[in-house]
Structure 1
Amino acid sequence: MVFGENRGVERTPRDRDSEGRARSARPRDGLGRPLPYGRAGVARQAEGIARSPGETLAEAQRLLDAGKPFHAHEVFEDAWKTRPEPERDLWQGLAQLAVGLTHAARGNAPGGARLLERGADRIAGYGDPYDVDVSGLAAWARDLAERLVSGGGPVDARVEAPRLTLA
């Protein structure tokens, strides 16, 4: 039974994965926005892949350089779910930076700025594990967040893509 404003609205069943979890099968554009069914979209990142830190960083950098920060976020999300507990905040913070860039590229300046700041705060205490340029990334995120708050956006995700490592 449907209540409120949705009364009488016919709902279509939600897409589900093989384990029954809600998972949209709609194609997505390069920034992860859903497209209408039947449209050509950007190939999705496979989920649940356990990569080494180096593989994670290389794949995420490739996606960022291609202007696909939403997809890079999914790579970081796999790392934060599979890496040991002491590292999870690092990977979650990197995912937040990628999602912040996604929102900034989509034109959501306030949301992008908040996620960039949150990601910068989350990674700040890590030094440079796996040659991740933590201080450089935090400075990049804070700079972009400030530009977004000052009226910038949308931004070009490819142009704004950060370098993840020191090398």
Structure 2
Amino acid sequence: MRDTAGGARDRDAEGRARNARPRDGLGRPLPYGAEGVARQPEGVVRAPEATVSEAQRLLDAGRPFHAHEVFEDAWKSGPDGERQLWRGLAQLAVGLTHAARGNATGGARLLRRGAGAVEEWCVASGTTCPYGMDGVGLASWARELADRVERGESPVDPVAAAPRLRIRT
């Protein structure tokens, strides 16, 4: 297969996309040869606390797309009982990504979906949100941001809008 620029597509031996194309800080693809931001390596297995810390660092740096990839690794490699939590956190990060890119509809939808998943896992199940995370606060943040982008306050500044994952002590 060829890409639209006439070159070979980035595929592994099984034909899956390798995503070698450079990307900007919000994960948007850039032209081949352009200087992008460093990518998060895929498939990294981290301790849950390290996942939360790395995702917070990326969110604080205005890189929610990359935080989403960190959460996605936890979702795919973590215990079955926590998959809904990590998937919900990934949805929050990618919702912020879409809102920062100016996609109000997609951003709001993903923020609300992620809020519901995190809230269900951390609150409705009666489980305390693990790893010091603030499930109630995250769900509230996501719904407030979804309301803002639906009112036309998009694109949002990903640094200013970044959530706090952990309860402040």
TM-score (norm 2): 0.89
Contact 1:14 1:24 in 2 (8 A): no
Q: Give 1:6's aligned residue.
A: none
In 2, the alpha carbon distance for the partners of 1:128 and 1:87 equals 10
Select 1:113's aligned residue among 101, 108, 117: 108
Q: Give 2:46's aligned residue.
A: 51
Q: Which has the higher helix share?
A: 1
Q: Give 1:84's aligned residue.
A: 79
Superposition deviation, residue 12 in structure 1 = 4.3
In 1, the alpha carbon distance for the partners of 2:94 and 2:163 equals 13
Select 2:37's aligned residue among 42, 50, 60: 42
Superposition deviation, residue 13 in structure 1 = 3.2
* Number of aligned residue pairs: 159
Deviations 1:39-70 (A, max 9, x none): 10001000111101100000000000000000
Select 1:67's aligned residue among 62, 68, 73: 62
CA spacing shift, 1:44–1:19, aligned 2, 3 Å: farther
1:28 aligns with 2:23: yes
In 2, the alpha carbon distance for the partners of 1:110 and 1:28 equals 22
In 2, the alpha carbon distance for the partners of 1:17 and 1:153 equals 36
The code of the aligned residue for 2:107 comes to G
Q: Give 2:143's aligned residue.
A: 142
Q: Percent identity?
A: 67
In 2, the alpha carbon distance for the partners of 1:48 and 1:19 equals 17
The code of the aligned residue for 1:71 comes to H
Superposition deviation, residue 17 in structure 1 = 3.2
Deviations 1:119-161 (A, max 9, x none): 0001112132111100000000000000111111000001100
In 2, the alpha carbon distance for the partners of 1:133 and 1:15 equals 39
1:64 counterpart SS class: helix
Superposition deviation, residue 18 in structure 1 = 5.5
Larger Rg: 1
**Structure 1 unaligned blocks of 5 or more:** 1-8
**Structure 2 unaligned blocks of 5 or more:** 123-127
Q: Which runs of 4+ in 1 moved over 6 A?
A: none
